[in-house]
């Protein structure tokens, strides 16, 4: 029995050993297979990485090349755009030059009164330009000649009369009648009119053959438009052209001038005092000063009087009285000073306000009628400039007068304080000598 069990145990042990050996071999075969797979995969990985690096490098080269090509194309595009814009500008200039040339040719044709048939016979632009230049030279040559002809013109009273005319080219004329001889000025529609200047003696020398005689001349560009002699405006006409604000500025200036005169008169009265008292104070003759009578009609007298009345007080109390009395005179010395300076500051602001309102009215006229007739715009522009001028005319003298009068007032204040303190010092010396 024991032998049988031992035999079975040995058999089982052998079977286990055989199974373990088989399993070990299986594991070894699997390990060898996996190791081979690992080597294969590592080779594939290395190959793929090399291919990836190569492709990335190639892609970078392609990208750099594409970027360079893009930069070149962008520069080429910008250059082409610049050339296109330059070509468009040249085309516009050529079209503008052609338009200007056509306008110039048309103006030359109308000015020189070319025959229509002859003008159409000129086929090229060069031929037309040559014809216009030739005609202009002839016209300028004729325009520089001085000739005497018979003609019609208006007298100063507006009557059409006949007489002799001396034409200085196309820019000036003189009219000669039995009663009056003078320069001629255009009145429109090709008509001329005698001016007020009587040039009988000068024109007589010219008629006698003295071509070197000196005469005034009235130059004009054309006789198709009338010329109105400039009239001198009065002060009220100028103010009226400036509108309501101009009247306000003028009124403000008159008020400022009136107040400045009053302030000047008050300061003049304040500066008038008994110089004998001042001389005694400066010398230190207190007894002589006490003998003088202080009327109290001027700030100087009133301050000294209050100083005399406080001579028995302590110095600090006396100085308080002096300062109080000087402060009491400030209302008299500074009267109208601030108002004058305020008016000097307000005047240019009113002028600026007039400028704004004038320009607003000008733009209203432009909106309604356009800019074809400058005369329509003159009223608003005149209002704008006149108010500015009047504002400065009022502000500058007012500011100067205000500062000058303020300086005068300051000098009087300094003199009052100095002499009052000098008198107070005399009282201190007198009290010290008595002690």
Winning range, highest mean pLDDT, from 6-15, 42-51, 292-301, 326-335: 42-51
Which residues touch 179 (CB under 8 Å, ≥6 apart)? none
Higher pLDDT, 173 or 294: 173
Residue 291 confidence (pLDDT)? 44
Nearest to 343 by CA among 229, 204, 248: 248
Nearest to 246 by CA among 393, 344, 362: 393
For the chain, the domains span: 1-112, 145-227, 237-434
Whole-model pTM: value is: 0.51
Each residue of 267-291: pLDDT tens digit? Answer: 888 877 666 566 656 555 555 455 4
Residue 23 confidence (pLDDT)? 74
Backbone phi and psi for residue 109, each to the nearest 5 degrees, phi listed first: -60, -45
Instruction: Extract the tokens encoding 295.
Output: 């009327």
Winning range, highest mean pLDDT, from 21-35, 96-110, 288-302: 21-35
Residue 168 confidence (pLDDT)? 75
Instruction: Give how far Cα 257 sits from Cα of 54, 250, 267, 344, Å.
Output: 98, 10, 15, 11
How would DSSP label each residue in 126-147? HHHHHHHHHHHHHHHHHHT-EE
Please compute the mean of the pLDDT values over residues 131-155 and round it to a whole number: 74
Percent residues over pLDDT 90 in the chain: 9
Residue 345 confidence (pLDDT)? 92
């Amino acid at each position: 029995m024991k032998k049988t069990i031992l035999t079975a145990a040995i058999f089982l042990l052998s079977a286990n050993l055989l199974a373990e050996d088989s399993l070990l071999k299986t594991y070894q075969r699997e390990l060898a297979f996996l190791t081979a797979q690992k080597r294969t995969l590592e080779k594939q990985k290395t190959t793929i990485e090399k291919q990836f690096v190569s492709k990335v490098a190639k892609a970078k080269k392609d990208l750099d090349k594409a970027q360079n090509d893009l930069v070149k194309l962008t520069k080429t595009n910008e250059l082409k755009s610049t050339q296109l814009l330059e070509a468009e500008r040249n085309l516009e200039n050529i079209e503008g030059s052609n338009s200007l040339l056509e306008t110039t040719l048309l103006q030359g044709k109308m000015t020189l009164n070319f025959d229509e048939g002859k003008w159409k016979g000129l086929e090229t632009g060069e031929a037309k330009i040559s014809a216009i230049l030739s005609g202009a030279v002839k016209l300028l040559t004729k325009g520089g000649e001085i000739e005497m002809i018979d003609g019609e013109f208006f007298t100063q009273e507006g009557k059409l009369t006949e007489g002799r005319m001396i034409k200085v080219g196309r820019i000036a004329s003189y009219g000669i009648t039995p009663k009056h001889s003078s320069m001629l000025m255009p009145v429109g529609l090709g008509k001329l009119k005698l001016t007020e200047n009587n040039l009988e003696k000068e024109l007589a020398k010219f008629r006698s053959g003295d071509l070197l005689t000196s005469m005034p001349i009235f130059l004009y560009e054309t006789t198709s438009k009338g010329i109105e002699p400039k009239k001198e405006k009065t002060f009220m006409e100028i103010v009226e052209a400036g509108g309501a604000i101009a009247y306000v500025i003028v009124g403000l200036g008159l008020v400022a001038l009136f107040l400045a005169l009053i302030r000047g008169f008050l300061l003049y009265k304040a500066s008038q005092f008994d110089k004998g008292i001042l001389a005694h104070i400066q010398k230190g003759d207190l007894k002589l000063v006490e003998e003088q009578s202080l009327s109290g009609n001027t700030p100087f007298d009133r301050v000294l009087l209050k100083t005399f009345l406080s001579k028995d007080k302590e110095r600090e109390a006396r100085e308080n009285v002096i300062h109080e009395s000087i402060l009491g005179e400030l209302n008299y010395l500074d009267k109208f000073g601030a108002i004058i300076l305020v008016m000097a500051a307000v005047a240019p602001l009113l002028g600026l306000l007039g400028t704004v309102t004038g320009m607003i009215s000008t733009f209203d006229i432009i909106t309604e009628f356009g800019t074809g007739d400058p005369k329509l715009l003159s009223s608003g522009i005149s209002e704008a400039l006149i108010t500015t001028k009047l504002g400065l005319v009022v502000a500058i003298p007012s500011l100067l007068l205000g500062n000058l009068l303020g300086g005068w007032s300051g000098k009087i204040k300094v003199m009052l304080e100095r002499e009052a303190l000098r008198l107070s010092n005399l009282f201190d010396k007198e009290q010290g000598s008595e002690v």
